[in-house]
Chain A
């Protein structure tokens, strides 16, 4: 008798647990909709939906659908009117923007110039994205009338328009931000074609068509978009194949052929704005010797490495800037694979017996593979390299402090303007944590970069940037490695999808067939 009581208690105990478990389950009740939602998978969930509170790719990809900018940048990185119908440059510091009228925010408010002024001032205050707008003079923002605004920079800043097309400068509604306070990052209000419907943190973000969207021509064709976080790379492909999702971002190399060959799937491939490089700490022996850096450039068989590691995706880099970036110099002479030349240079440098060194990388399988292959190839000129895989945080700290020898890292020239892709990486004022982790210094490069930043003449800028790229190629603070590719897998009933080189693809053009 007593024992059966215990059994009952035990059962109740277990029941409570399972009830608690079931009770806690968040009911993602599938409300009936007229049309099928578009399900898009990316590696991680959005972190915040406030453009000034973070600057990560996953969030930007969602925010692209919610917010709009003064200026748009199309898939060819050309600048087009956005919320600003037109603009003109008044002098070398000041631009005047004419806003489109009758634009509604998701909360029903109408867009005015004061929202733009508010947005830019708020961005300037942000510790996350201020660098995107830092050229702007906070006192030079002037609301002329409800649909006209003047924006002035402190110094001449040529790439301003490209920066105003960055997701970080999406226009916010002052009232919505003020009302939401600390919680704004979860209750975004923009003017974009989609608005936030529901957010299951860590799993899905659901967007729904904004019925009062201002541009009839760009009215979304699909009622609902669901962004789903699938962190395990191979699983995005599996889900795409089994029809669990409609679009999968960031397909990995081994899956590209599989999707290309599948009858019901398509691969959408376009070069993007990212680059991966092997850097030398030129502030440290023996990498302060240009001959050593060149020797390693000669001995590294980058075409083979890139082919083995990236399996035919992207392309071996020809310079510090990818082909999509304006003023990218496509005529740089590649070092090629020449072991004899490498040995010669090492001998000239007095290092024919080689030396010991380390190659740092973070926990990225492709970069680890590059490091391992490079380690092997360096043996040919007697360099004994040790591979050191570090955790991201420690890696950034270590390379900023100059504790490293060789390292593998990437960069995304997200604005498509060479200023963003060269200045932080090669100007000596940005040594270490500022982005120049090779500690490369060259007075001529400094001057050219400074000049091109403030000069309004595109021809002058282009010439300067091309020259910088020449010098960097010759002085070899980097081994140019790989230029990335946007690899998107879609089901073949998905039409109207186009990759954007910056990675935040527009989804309002997509429709089902």
Chain B
């Protein structure tokens, strides 16, 4: 028995090695894709800005001065000041913290919950599968923006609640992807082997199945971050988002929209920031998908 176990473990190790080299291959392909490298570069810049906001931003995000409102973009204030006299550039820099947090954590919530549900459904099948997937159908049938709005209404606005709302609304897509991957993998030999030596289900799912279903999840997650940021901005725009004075881009845009005709810069730059972020995430996500699915590229 123990002999078989070592054998299986060895096999697992070799699979792991193989997997590692697979990821290296993906990275090699990804590097060749200029567009996705541009995307990755911008994302890195944003992450950098978010981490070092305190050093990069010339001012704090809530340094009001009611005597210098509506200053147009120029030498003193790179992107101008808003309706409460705050430096817009600084707010956008700090805002990257919020947007990236919302994006990644919401996707984290969705991927972990959805992934777990999908894995359970796919692995066990039968009634459990049916129940979980019907539940997912229910969530999917409610438009995600309405679902998010009603969750935020129920929980109250705020950073954490927005993450939860946006996260829950995108659970079903992860559940579906993971379930589909699990279904294709679970009958393969090395899973049978692991079962034969009595590895428990949890170990099989986490150690053997999930790592092999990683590729589609990662692609979905990259694009999901973009969607989560957009949804959060949309929630803020209708006044159900992050609490002021936090500089959430959607909220900045919403607050500036009354002044848009006289002071275009207040609503324009946060919009551009959102667009640039989503754009780079999409560039990177596209490249990643191509790299993971070599059929498409020569």
**If A308-B84, A389-B157, A390-B156 touch, does A254 touch B262 (CB 8 Å cutoff)?**
yes
Q: Any chain A CB within 8 A of the CB of B69?
A: yes
> A100-127: which have CB < 8 Å to B?
none
Chain A to chain B: the 10 pairs with minimum beta-carbon distance, closest first: A363-B239, A308-B66, A376-B64, A387-B244, A372-B245, A254-B259, A372-B244, A254-B258, A391-B153, A252-B258
Do A373 and B64 touch (CB < 8 A)?
Answer: yes
Do A372 and B84 touch (CB < 8 A)?
Answer: yes
Q: Any chain B CB within 8 A of the CB of A304?
A: yes
Do B84 and A373 touch (CB < 8 A)?
Answer: yes
Alpha-carbon distance A372/B255, docked complex (angstroms): 12
User: Interface residues of A: mostly helix, strand, loop or mixed?
Assistant: helix
Q: Any chain B CB within 8 A of the CB of A394?
A: yes
- What residues of chain B have their CB less than 8 Å away from a CB belonging to chain A? 62, 64, 66, 69, 83-84, 153, 156-157, 239-240, 243-245, 254-255, 257-262
User: Interface residues of B: mostly helix, strand, loop or mixed?
Assistant: loop
Q: Any chain B CB within 8 A of the CB of A86?
A: no
Q: Which residues of A contact B255 (CB under 8 A)?
A: 365, 368-369
Q: Which residue of B lies closest to A386 (CB)?
A: B243
Q: Which residues of A contact B64 (CB under 8 A)?
A: 372-373, 376
Q: Which residues of B contact A375 (CB under 8 A)?
A: 245
Q: Which residue of A lies closest to B67 (CB)?
A: A304
Q: Any chain B CB within 8 A of the CB of A357?
A: no
Q: Any chain B CB within 8 A of the CB of A234?
A: yes
Do A373 and B66 touch (CB < 8 A)?
Answer: yes
**If A363-B240, A372-B244 touch, does A390 touch B157 (CB 8 Å cutoff)?**
yes
Alpha-carbon distance A71/B275, docked complex (angstroms): 57
Within the complex, the shortest CB–CB distance from B254 to chain A, in Å, comes to 8
Q: Which residues of A contact B254 (CB under 8 A)?
A: 365
Highest count of chain B CB atoms <10 Å: which of A255, A389, A393: A389
Q: Which residues of B contact A305 (CB under 8 A)?
A: 66
Q: Any chain B CB within 8 A of the CB of A233?
A: yes
Alpha-carbon distance A363/B257, docked complex (angstroms): 15
Alpha-carbon distance A391/B151, docked complex (angstroms): 12
Q: Which residues of B contact A265 (CB under 8 A)?
A: none
Alpha-carbon distance A372/B82, docked complex (angstroms): 13
Q: Which residue of A lies closest to B153 (CB)?
A: A391
Alpha-carbon distance A425/B176, docked complex (angstroms): 55
Do A368 and B244 touch (CB < 8 A)?
Answer: yes
Q: Which residues of A contact B153 (CB under 8 A)?
A: 391, 393-394
Residue pairs across A and B with Cβ atoms less than 8 A apart, 16 shown, are: A233-B258, A234-B260, A258-B262, A304-B66, A308-B83, A308-B84, A365-B258, A371-B244, A372-B84, A373-B64, A373-B66, A386-B243, A387-B244, A387-B245, A391-B157, A394-B153
Q: Any chain B CB within 8 A of the CB of A388?
A: yes
Alpha-carbon distance A394/B254, docked complex (angstroms): 21
Do A389 and B84 touch (CB < 8 A)?
Answer: no
Within the complex, the shortest CB–CB distance from A484 to chain B, in Å, comes to 16
**If A308-B84, A363-B239 touch, does A234 touch B244 (CB 8 Å cutoff)?**
no
Known: A233-B258, A387-B243, A390-B156. 13 other contacts (CB 8 A): A234-B257, A254-B261, A254-B262, A304-B66, A305-B66, A308-B83, A365-B258, A368-B255, A369-B83, A369-B255, A372-B64, A387-B244, A393-B153
> A334-387: which have CB < 8 Å to B?
363, 365, 368-369, 371-373, 375-376, 386-387
Do B258 and A388 touch (CB < 8 A)?
Answer: no
Within the complex, the shortest CB–CB distance from A115 to chain B, in Å, comes to 43
Q: Which residues of B contact A388 (CB under 8 A)?
A: 243
Alpha-carbon distance A363/B237, docked complex (angstroms): 11
Q: Which residue of B lies closest to A258 (CB)?
A: B261
Within the complex, the shortest CB–CB distance from A499 to chain B, in Å, comes to 22
Alpha-carbon distance A304/B257, docked complex (angstroms): 22
Q: Which residue of A lies closest to B257 (CB)?
A: A234
Alpha-carbon distance A330/B66, docked complex (angstroms): 28
Q: Which residues of A contact B157 (CB under 8 A)?
A: 389-391
Highest count of chain A CB atoms <10 Å: which of B239, B240, B254, B262: B239
Q: Which residues of B contact A308 (CB under 8 A)?
A: 66, 69, 83-84
Within the complex, the shortest CB–CB distance from A318 to chain B, in Å, comes to 21
Within the complex, the shortest CB–CB distance from A373 to chain B, in Å, comes to 6
Q: Which residue of B lies closest to A398 (CB)?
A: B156
Alpha-carbon distance A372/B245, docked complex (angstroms): 6
Within the complex, the shortest CB–CB distance from A401 to chain B, in Å, comes to 14
Do A234 and B243 touch (CB < 8 A)?
Answer: no
Q: Which residue of A lies closest to B158 (CB)?
A: A388
Q: Which residues of A contact B245 (CB under 8 A)?
A: 372, 375, 387
Chain A positions 229 through 256: 1 when the CB is less than 8 Å from some CB of chain B, otherwise 0: 0000110000000000000000011110
Q: Which residues of A contact B244 (CB under 8 A)?
A: 368, 371-372, 387, 389
**If A363-B239, A394-B156 touch, does A369 touch B84 (CB 8 Å cutoff)?**
yes
Alpha-carbon distance A258/B257, docked complex (angstroms): 16
Chain A positions 185 through 217: 1 when the CB is less than 8 Å from some CB of chain B, otherwise 0: 000000000000000000000000000000000
Q: Which residue of B lies closest to A387 (CB)?
A: B244
Q: Which residues of A contact B260 (CB under 8 A)?
A: 234
Q: Which residue of A lies closest to B245 (CB)?
A: A372
Within the complex, the shortest CB–CB distance from A253 to chain B, in Å, comes to 8
Within the complex, the shortest CB–CB distance from A493 to chain B, in Å, comes to 24
Alpha-carbon distance A304/B261, docked complex (angstroms): 23
Q: Which residues of B contact A393 (CB under 8 A)?
A: 153
**If A234-B260, A308-B69 touch, does A391 touch B156 (CB 8 Å cutoff)?**
yes
Alpha-carbon distance A391/B240, docked complex (angstroms): 7
Q: Which residue of A lies closest to B241 (CB)?
A: A389
Alpha-carbon distance A233/B259, docked complex (angstroms): 11
Alpha-carbon distance A301/B90, docked complex (angstroms): 26
Highest count of chain B CB atoms <10 Å: which of A258, A391, A393: A391
Q: Which residues of A contact B240 (CB under 8 A)?
A: 363, 391
Alpha-carbon distance A391/B257, docked complex (angstroms): 20
Within the complex, the shortest CB–CB distance from B243 to chain A, in Å, comes to 6
> A277-313: which have CB < 8 Å to B?
304-305, 308
Q: Which residues of A contact B261 (CB under 8 A)?
A: 234, 254-255, 258
Within 8 Å by CB of B258, from A234, A372, A373, A376, lies A234
Alpha-carbon distance A253/B153, docked complex (angstroms): 29
Alpha-carbon distance A215/B62, docked complex (angstroms): 59
Alpha-carbon distance A304/B83, docked complex (angstroms): 13
Alpha-carbon distance A255/B259, docked complex (angstroms): 8
Q: Which residue of B lies closest to A362 (CB)?
A: B239
Q: Which residue of B lies closest to A358 (CB)?
A: B243
Q: Which residue of B lies closest to A368 (CB)?
A: B244
Q: Which residues of B contact A304 (CB under 8 A)?
A: 66
Q: Which residues of B contact A391 (CB under 8 A)?
A: 153, 156-157, 240
Highest count of chain A CB atoms <10 Å: which of B245, B254, B257: B245
Q: Which residues of A contact B62 (CB under 8 A)?
A: 372, 376
Within the complex, the shortest CB–CB distance from A397 to chain B, in Å, comes to 11
Alpha-carbon distance A368/B243, docked complex (angstroms): 10
Within the complex, the shortest CB–CB distance from B146 to chain A, in Å, comes to 15
Q: Which residues of A contact B69 (CB under 8 A)?
A: 308
Alpha-carbon distance A308/B260, docked complex (angstroms): 16
Within the complex, the shortest CB–CB distance from B248 to chain A, in Å, comes to 11
Q: Which residues of B contact A368 (CB under 8 A)?
A: 244, 255
Alpha-carbon distance A258/B84, docked complex (angstroms): 21
Alpha-carbon distance A394/B158, docked complex (angstroms): 14
